[in-house]
């Protein structure tokens, strides 16, 4: 009981007890100016950088996005192998749908009527160094039977078990077979949400109507908000040449940026499109350039034998990436930043005090005032360095 009382007394005493340094009021243009200068810097930082630039008064949320794409276009080719042929979206977009990316085939090497059987390997003449041996895996597509057969009148190669005839892996045609892909268009539908602010928007802006959408093509100057892009434009905006890119293929990035200040009118929140080539095309480091892959169409012919058409497809993959950050006024971050700012100012005041001492030494020698904060800091550095 007594102890409790004692503790209580202690608490009260320490609760209402505080200290204050004896303070001296001095006037001096020089030091006052310095003092203000430091404070001005702090204010500039707090107001200019934290508040204006970094929007410290806003709560932020990152974007939630969905992308769907639809390519349109048709190409007409006429080759000795395939004859006259029309290519439409179902022919050149592989796979038909992806989450946030689409591939347009621009060039191809076709090997028709392959069946599982034996045939001479292509382009690998038998050498004493590597005789044909049963079961030896040949490159990446065939297994040797051990025999050695005539590939042509001149050359003999190992016989292989494979999808025959095996593909002749040559350079892709130049110009590209589907060079016309440059004129294909793609409609990109991008809906975004900022869940924290329950704010949603799509790249087909509210003021767009169907007739406009049917005819427009994105143009940074004239139609910056048209969601339909010409593939050739996308590539040229990235300072690349479509036709040369079409031969070996590549990867393009379509970046959609949604930076929205939700304290502003909603209509100010519009997507910005930028395009860049993502894969490397560095001429002096062009090992394994471009982008291609193999796929096959499987058939069964009359006598129920499975045959396939192997296609080595070169093309451009377009990766659609959506970035974005939304900010909206919120109390908590505002208070935190104001608090931090005031604290900083208070600190400066303290440092300024120190500065003032420095000169007040000259002013009033009566006081044993000594090195100010900055001197102290420098001195410390001297001590540690």
Binding residues for ATP: 70-72, 185, 292-294, 312
Please identify, among the stretches 124-132, 197-205, 218-226, 262-270, the one whose residues bind a second copy according to the rule CB under 8 A: 197-205
Binders of a second copy in range 214-243 (CB under 8 A): none
- From the list 177, 179, 256, 310, which residue makes contact with a second copy (rule: CB under 8 A)? 310
* C-alpha span between 31 and 357 (Å, rounded): 9
Q: How far is the CB of 319 from a second copy (least distance, A)?
A: 6
Stretch that binds a second copy, among 71-79, 121-129, 236-244, 256-264 (CB under 8 A): 71-79
Considering the complex, state which of residue 40 and residue 155 has its C-beta at the smaller distance from a second copy: 40
Stretch that binds a second copy, among 122-130, 217-225, 230-238, 309-317 (CB under 8 A): 309-317
> Are the beta carbons of 296 and 304 closer than 8 angstroms?
no
Q: Which residues contact 69 (CB under 8 A, 6 or more apart)?
A: 102, 186, 187, 188, 189, 318, 320
Q: In the set 3, 154, 206, 362, which binds a second copy (CB under 8 A)?
A: 206
Long-range residue pairs from 143-147, CB within 8 A, at least 24 positions apart, any chain:
145/118
Instruction: Note whether 32 and 353 are within 8 A (CB).
Output: no
Q: Which stretch binds a second copy (CB under 8 A): 124-132, 148-156, 261-269, 306-314?
A: 306-314
Q: Does 129 bind a second copy (CB under 8 A)?
A: no
Question: Rounded to the nearest whole angstrom, what is the least distance from the CB of residue 349 to a second copy in the complex?
Answer: 6
308 binds a second copy per the rule CB under 8 A: yes
Alpha carbons 178 and 86: distance in angstroms, whole number: 10
**Within 154-183, which residues bind a second copy (CB under 8 A)?**
161-163, 183
Those residues with Cβ within 8 angstroms of residue 60's Cβ, 6 or more apart along the chain or in another chain: 325, 326, 327, 328
Minimum CB separation from a second copy for residue 359, in Å?
9
Interface size with a second copy, residues (CB under 8 A): 140
Q: Which is nearer to a second copy, 169 or 241 (CB)?
A: 169
The helix-helix angle for 331-363 and 29-43 (nearest 10°) equals: 160
Instruction: Tell me which stretch binds a second copy (CB under 8 A): 119-127, 150-158, 240-248, 352-360.
Output: 352-360
> Can residue 373 be called a binding residue for a second copy (CB under 8 A)?
yes
3-state secondary structure of 144: strand
CB of 229 or CB of 291, closer to a second copy: 291
Residues 6+ apart with CB under 8 A from 135: 143, 144, 146
Q: Cβ(191)–Cβ(65) under 8 Å?
A: yes
Min dist CB 123 to a second copy, Å, is 14
**Contact (CB, 8 A) for 186 and 318:** yes
Q: Please, what is the Cα angle at 367 between 361 and 368, to 5 degrees?
A: 85
- Give the footprint of a second copy on residues 84-103 (CB under 8 A): 84-86, 88-91, 93-101, 103
DSSP classification of residue 3: H
Residue 42 CB, nearest approach to a second copy (Å): 9
Nearest residue (CB) to a second copy, 153 versus 161: 161
Identify which of residues 90 and 154 has a Cβ nearer to a second copy in the complex.
Answer: 90
Q: Does 298 bind a second copy (CB under 8 A)?
A: yes
The SS3 call for residue 169 is coil
Q: What is the distance in angstroms between the CA of the first residue and the CA of the last residue of the chain?
A: 57
Q: How far is the CB of 153 from a second copy (least distance, A)?
A: 27
Closest residue by Cα to residue 95 from 293, 291, 277: 293
Question: Which span sits near a second copy by CB under 8 A: 23-31, 122-130, 146-154, 215-223?
Answer: 23-31
Asked whether position 66 contacts a second copy by CB under 8 A, the answer is: yes
377: Cβ–Cβ under 8 A, 6 or more apart, which residues? none
Return the number of the residue (162 or 179) whose C-beta is nearest a second copy.
162
């Amino acid at each position: 009981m007594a102890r409790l009382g004692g503790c209580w007394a202690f608490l009260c005493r320490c609760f209402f007890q505080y200290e204050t340094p004896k303070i001296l009021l001095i006037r001096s243009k020089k030091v006052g100016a310095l003092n203000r200068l430091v404070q001005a810097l702090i204010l500039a930082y707090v107001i200019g950088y934290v508040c204006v630039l970094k929007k410290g008064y806003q709560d932020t949320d990152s974007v939630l996005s969905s992308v769907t794409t639809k390519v349109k276009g048709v190409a007409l080719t006429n080759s000795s192998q395939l004859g006259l042929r029309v290519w439409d979206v179902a022919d050149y977009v592989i796979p038909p749908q992806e989450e946030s990316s689409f591939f347009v085939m621009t060039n191809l090497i076709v090997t028709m009527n392959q069946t599982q059987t034996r045939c001479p390997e292509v382009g690998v003449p038998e050498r004493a160094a590597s005789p044909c041996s049963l079961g030896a895996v040949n490159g990446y597509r065939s297994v040797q039977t051990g025999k050695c057969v005539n590939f042509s009148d001149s050359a003999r190669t190992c016989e292989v078990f494979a999808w025959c005839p095996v593909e002749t892996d040559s350079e892709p045609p130049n110009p590209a077979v589907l060079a016309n892909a440059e004129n294909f268009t793609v409609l990109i539908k991008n809906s975004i949400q900022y869940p924290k602010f329950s704010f949603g928007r799509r790249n087909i802006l509210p003021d767009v109507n169907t007739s406009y959408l049917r005819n427009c093509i994105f143009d940074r100057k004239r139609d910056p908000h048209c969601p339909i892009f010409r593939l050739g434009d996308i590539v040229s905006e990235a300072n690349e040449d479509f036709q040369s890119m079409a031969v070996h293929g590549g990867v393009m990035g379509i970046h959609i940026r949604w930076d929205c200040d939700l304290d502003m009118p909603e209509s100010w929140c519009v997507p910005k499109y930028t395009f860049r080539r993502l894969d490397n095309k560095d001429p002096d480091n062009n090992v394994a350039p471009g982008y291609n892959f193999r796929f096959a169409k499987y058939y069964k012919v009359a006598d129920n034998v499975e045959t396939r058409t192997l296609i080595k497809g070169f093309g451009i993959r377009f990766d659609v990436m959506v970035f974005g950050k939304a900010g909206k006024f919120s109390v908590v971050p505002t208070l935190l930043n104001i608090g931090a700012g005031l604290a900083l100012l208070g600190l400066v005041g303290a440092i300024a005090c120190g500065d003032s001492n420095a000169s007040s030494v000259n002013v009033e020698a009566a006081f044993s005032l000594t090195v100010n904060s900055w001197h102290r800091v420098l001195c410390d550095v001297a001590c540690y360095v």
